[in-house]
Amino acid sequence: MKRKDTGRLAALLNTVSLPVIATILGLLLGALIMFLSGHDPLKVYSVMFDKSFINVNYLNQTLTKATPVIMCGISGAVAWRAGHINLGIEGQMVCGGITAIIIGLYMPGPAFLVTLCACVGACAAGALYALIPTFLQDKSHVSLIMVTLMMNYIANYLSTYLVSFPLKDTSSVNANQTMFIDDSLKFTRLFSNGQLSTGFILSVLTVIAVYLVMNYTSFGYESKMSGFNPNFAKYGGVRERRVMYLTMALSGAIAGFAGFVEVFGTKYRYSSNMIASSGYAWTGLMASLVGQYNPFAILFYSIFFSGLTIGGQALQRDFGIPLQIADIITSSIMLFVSINIGIHLFRAGKKQRSEKKEETGNKTPAKEAA
């Protein structure tokens, strides 16, 4: 029992230590760039963190921006930990958002029913859109990475057409956007002086739900084993195709749910390119990788990366430092994590080749003796 607890503690420390070290190195690199450009890193960072995590008004903005990022990160983690690289989260979120706005604008009935139908419709749209590349990979063996990535463009162009023509608000001449949803459909604001809504609470509940599913259900175990060791999973009786379809559907549904929350919780309408230009999906994927697919680590890093963006905007206003400094810090953290992953994969491959070589060497004397 003690060995089991020690193993869990070691795994937890490994999960926590790598992102923390990568974060420190990323912040040090950002400090070096600031110093070389003639700015005091300590002063800059104090302002940056004050205007992203400490000041209540800016914290409000950070959590608002983090809400869809959290769900995109969770969506990516669900698929990636099972060995399925889903790069189509942006497109699946677009499908969820555009479906939600159509139901919100045109479905009659009480607000609760319309909101529920919009939520279910958005999740279904995201799931179905994720199942298209899954089916193509299953039947035609095409690259899931390439198809999911390319389908982002299809979803974005389709949504642009819809908000530019059939769904366009005719009262706005220049902007390609829909009308606002009814006030009764809008999520409740958590504070009077900001956009933070109950959508943030829904994102936290999503984190908890996915954690429970992935750690305390047979589907979560099968999904994890399929990604960790496909051959072992297949030998153990895991139905590989079933797990693949369910995993991708769940990933797409969460992304579609993120689109629904963004429309009903923050924007209240759908504008051309509003999801793609915000970069929610890619920030979420970075949070997922840095957090090593741990839902609670994804929650933390989604908020952290969103805060860097909000703080970076404040730096541009107060110090004239380009907003891109936040992108440099975020990308550096991602780079240091990727380097460690690369080293780990290299060592694993080297060990596997060494074991294979020893196994071949042991078989040769046996044949000569025979």
pLDDT tens-digit series, residues 179-222: 999 999 999 999 888 899 999 999 999 999 999 999 999 999 88
Q: Which residue has the higher pLDDT, 344 or 305?
A: 305
Backbone angles phi, psi at 271, to 5 degrees: -110, 155
pTM of the shown model: 0.89
pLDDT at position 173: 73
SS3 at position 193: coil
Nearest to 275 by CA among 51, 88, 84: 88
The answer for residues whose C-beta is within 8 angstroms of residue 130's C-beta and 6 or more apart is 86, 88, 92, 148, 248, 249, 251, 252, 253, 255
Residue of 148, 112, 102, 153 lying closest to 129 (CA atoms): 148
- Spatial separation of the C-alpha atoms in residues 333 and 297, rounded to whole Å: 14
Q: What is the mean pLDDT of residues 38-42?
A: 88
pLDDT at position 15: 61
Domains, the chain, ordered by start: 16-341 (1.10.3470)
Mean pLDDT of 340-362: 68
Among 57-71, 95-109, 236-250, where is mean pLDDT lowest? Answer: 236-250
Q: What is the mean pLDDT of the chain?
A: 88
Q: Tokens representing 246?
A: 């369910």
Residue 6 has what pLDDT?
A: 59
- Tens digits of per-residue pLDDT, 1-15? 455 555 555 555 666
Task: Kindly give, in sequence order, each residue whose CB lies less than 8 Å from that of residue 308, ignoring residues fewer than 6 positions away.
Answer: 48, 52, 326, 329, 330
Mean pLDDT of 26-32: 90
101 Cβ contact list (under 8 Å, min separation 6) = 167, 178, 181, 263, 269, 270
In this prediction, residue 345 carries a pLDDT of: 64
**Is the separation of the CB atoms in 290 and 115 below 8 Å?**
no
Neighbour count for residue 3 (Cβ, 10 Å): 7
Q: How high is the pLDDT of residue 21? A: 84
Taking 50 as the threshold, does the pLDDT of residue 330 lie above it?
A: yes
The token pair at 362 is 């042991």
56-65, 76-85, 223-232, 264-273: least confidently modelled range? 223-232
Of the chain, the percentage scoring pLDDT greater than 70 comes to 89
In order of 32, 47, 58, 61, the CA distances from 194 in angstroms are 34, 20, 9, 7
- Does the pLDDT value for residue 348 go beyond 70? no
Please enumerate in sequence order all residues whose Cβ is within 8 A of that of 212, keeping only pairs 6 or more positions apart, or say none: none
Task: Reply yes or no on whether the pLDDT at 127 is more than 90.
Answer: yes
Predicted local distance difference test score (pLDDT) of residue 351: 67
**Looking at residue 238, what is its pLDDT?**
80
169 or 347, higher pLDDT: 169
CA distances from 242 to 77, 224, 258, 260, 352 (A): 18, 14, 24, 27, 29
Q: Which of 58, 63, 68, 65 is nearest to 97 (CA)?
A: 68
When pLDDT is averaged across residues 290-307 and rounded to a whole number, the result is 93
For the segment 47-95, what is each residue's pLDDT rounded down to a tens digit? 899 999 999 999 999 999 999 999 999 999 999 999 999 999 999 999 9
- Place 16 in a pLDDT band, splitting at 50, 70 and 90: low
